[in-house]
Chains A and B, each alone.
Chain A
Amino acid sequence: MQEHHDDSDLLVILRHAPHGSSWLREGLDAALVAAAFGRRVSLLFMGEGVTALLRGQQLGPLGQKGTAATLEMLEMYDIETLLVEEQGLSRLGLSSDELMLEVECLSPSALARVLSGHRLVLTF
């Protein structure tokens, strides 16, 4: 993992599940725009936010667009650092094998290092 960051690097923390609110979608929108503007963006999925990465997330029955398609596009935007809170997964009885993308699982101490390593953090 890269421990050194430029001042313009951005950490986007996603803490909400894909359905039930617009937090995840609006957080991802911010990440994509930042990447499109040339920032190096890392995503950190915490708490219920880890469920965004579960395979087979469908469109919501309420006409939401769904976020799986956006997650599949991350690579195109050069968003390659995908971090997951280890405790977030285990609390929900999930393992990283069940996720649709390759991620790096972070212990609490690694999490603290990532947070302190970024000057700019947006939390959704």
Chain B
Amino acid sequence: MRYAILLMGAPYSDQASHSALRFARALVARGHRLEAVFFYHDGVYNAARLAAPPQDEPHLVDAWAALANEHRVALQVCIAAALRRGLLDEREAVRHGKDGVSVEAPFELTGLGQLVDIGTRCDRLVTFGP
């Protein structure tokens, strides 16, 4: 089946991100196709390029990137939710006159329309939140 995930919990604050990641791994292990993970609400912090958790804890940002690269999963971050929370890719950093970049590929800033699109296109959209 074709799956998509909506993640709305902040990494390390809630279980949501850990659960979503395990669910994502389980899906592809079972031979399903995971088309996209959409990050919304506090879930956008999963895209924070500068996250530096202690070395003996799972690195969630890197884990999402690895999943995306291994299985061609789109990592879509709601741009409105991200900008409010200080998460900017290079284009947005320039546009807003900021001298730092906090989001990089394979994460991409995109609109809520993408969430509607994957929800319609995939067989299942599974939500993880706090």
Contacts and interface: CB of A to CB of B under 8 A. Distances in A.
Interface stretch (B22-30, B58-66, B98-106, B109-117): B109-117
Nearest to A7: B120
Interface stretch (A27-35, A68-76, A89-97, A101-109): A27-35
A58 interface: no
Given A26-B81, A29-B80, A37 B41 contact: no
A120 B115 contact: no
Interface in B2-42: 6, 8, 40-41
B40 A33 contact: no
Contacts of B111: 33
Given A29-B80, A39-B120, 15 more contacts: A8-B120, A10-B116, A22-B41, A26-B40, A30-B40, A30-B115, A33-B111, A33-B112, A33-B116, A34-B116, A37-B113, A37-B117, A122-B6, A122-B127, A123-B129
Q: Interface SS of chain B: helix, strand, loop or mixed?
A: helix
Contacts of A10: 116, 119
Contacts of B41: 22-23, 26, 124
Interface of A: 7-8, 10, 22-23, 26, 29-30, 33-34, 36-37, 39, 120, 122-124
Contacts of B80: 29
B129 A30 contact: no
A120 B125 contact: yes
Contacts, number: 39
Select the residue from B41, B120, B127 with max chain A CB neighbours within 10 A: B120
B77 to A, nearest CB: 13
Closest 6 A-B residue pairs measured CB to CB?
A33-B112, A34-B116, A120-B119, A8-B120, A37-B116, A26-B41
Contacts of B112: 29-30, 33-34
A72 B52 CA distance: 43
Nearest to B125: A120
A122 B119 contact: yes
16 contacts: A7-B120, A10-B116, A10-B119, A23-B41, A26-B40, A29-B112, A30-B112, A33-B115, A33-B116, A36-B113, A37-B113, A37-B116, A37-B117, A120-B119, A120-B125, A122-B119
A96 B40 CA distance: 31
A119 B112 CA distance: 18
